[in-house]
Copies of this chain bind each other. A is one copy, B any other.
Amino acid sequence: MCSSIDDCDLAILANESSRMTVADGRSFIEEGAPANDFFVVTGGRVKLFTLLPDGRRQITGFAEGGHFLGLAASTSYAFGAEALGGATLCRFPHAGMQRLTERFPNLEHRLREEASRELALMQARMTLLGRKTARERVATFLIERCQHLEKPDLSHPVELDLPMPRTDIADYLGLTIETVSRILSAFKKEKLISIRSITHITLLMPERISTIAEGME
């Protein structure tokens, strides 16, 4: 987001924001709470989720460095947010953000772009949740992780680090941890991936996994 703002204006920006750090597992946005701030993730990772009254949870996204949070909110937040292994954030009160958009008109455009990008992602995720099989979901998740790397290249084996526990993967994919675990084991048995440790997975045949992800087996 900062890319849309001149260097010499960083002081103004800093003036409207405050930095904060959130410890692992600590929640910093409460679903349904009055939405007073925007956030930018500056370090670490964050998970966004919504809850049902009985505790069922849907993780709606993972956010990392540079990600913008709080667009999916009018007066109250439509989601909760929690640090995933510690995170640092920039907090922008709505009022301050409004001053910024008046000062930097193209910032508003930038925010819309961010929202559009997010919308497009969510469309794909709805298809995943509504129409894909468990195998396809896990495959999609692995490919998504690849594309978050700096150099996404599916023509060679890819080493992945999954910073989130299985519980989070399951709640992200609309599955149970057992199903996620079983399917990862199946992929391993099929020599599609190798599991070096719980968090460290190598995609041995990324393109085949991508094919599975698209539902073309």
A-side residues, CB < 8 A to B, are 50, 52-54, 56-58, 60, 71-74, 78-79, 101, 105, 108-109, 111-113, 115-120, 122-127, 129-132, 171, 173-174, 214-216
Contacts and interface: CB of A to CB of B under 8 A. Distances in A.
Given A53-B216, A127-B52, A119 B122 contact: yes
Contact of A50 (B53, B116, B127): B127
Contacts of A130: 58, 129, 171, 173-174
A150 B116 CA distance: 28
A44 B67 CA distance: 37
B215 A78 contact: no
Residue from A56, A73, A111, A112 whose CB has the most chain B CB atoms within 10 Å: A112
A110 to B, nearest CB: 10
26 contacts: A52-B131, A53-B214, A54-B216, A56-B127, A58-B130, A58-B131, A60-B127, A71-B112, A72-B116, A72-B119, A72-B120, A72-B122, A74-B117, A74-B120, A78-B120, A105-B105, A108-B109, A108-B112, A111-B112, A112-B115, A115-B115, A115-B119, A122-B126, A125-B126, A129-B130, A130-B174
